[in-house]
Amino acid sequence: MKIVALGTSLTSRGGWPEMLEKALSACLQETVTVKTVALAGSTSDWALGQIDRVTAEKPDIVLVEFYANDAAINRWMSVSASRSNIAAILDGLHAGAPHARIVVMAMNPVSGLRGWMRPFLSSYIDAHREEAESRGMGFVDFRSAWEALPEADRDRAIPDGLHPRPEKAGEVMTPILVRHLAENGCKPGKTTP
């Protein structure tokens, strides 16, 4: 199974793709590879130019996250522009890899200065979720798992308010992704991490 993770720094230095590869391989008892096509600081504008790169990998699954930088006030991207971009990205991925399962993700809460710079963040997430769901594609929201952590633990896990420590991102996100992606559950004798 091949997975391509398309995203921002939350993917490129997130830590979770490597943990997902190991955990899903163990769960399914088959080789799973996770390739990242991600760039720190990128927006959905950048992602539009990566569709061919992603589909050339012939992925079975594509994981997508681009709302966070789109929502930053210094990027000057409206919710409607972000929505148009994610719609074009999802349509392009589906056209280029029609058999791939495409899943849009909402990553983690954003706080402090980085949260202040994204005052309408939830509107961007909602737009991306709506575009995924209107196409019958998956949507995974990790925010409630992060918010379930005690506040002090969450602050330590996301020290700059935006980027989780890689090991903590893997710990929080991997079990959720494995449950979502292993539709028929783990093979006998294996458990979800």
CA distance 25 to 3: 11
CA distance 135 to 5: 19
Please give the pLDDT value at position 188: 67
Please give the pLDDT value at position 192: 45
CA distance 127 to 26: 34
Please give the pLDDT value at position 151: 92
**Positions of the chain with pLDDT lower than 70, given as ranges:** 188-193
Please give the pLDDT value at position 183: 76
Beta bridge partners of 37: 6
Please give the pLDDT value at position 193: 46
Please give the pLDDT value at position 189: 59
Please give the pLDDT value at position 76: 86
Please give the pLDDT value at position 1: 94
Q: Is the pTM of this model over 0.85?
A: yes
Q: Phi first, then psi: what are they for 120, rounded to 5°?
A: -115, 30
Residues 137-192: tens digit of each pLDDT: 999 999 999 999 999 999 999 999 899 999 999 999 999 999 999 977 787 654 44
Number of helices (H) and strands (E), helices first, in the chain?
11, 5
CA distance 138 to 136: 7
Please give the pLDDT value at position 187: 72
CA distance 129 to 73: 20
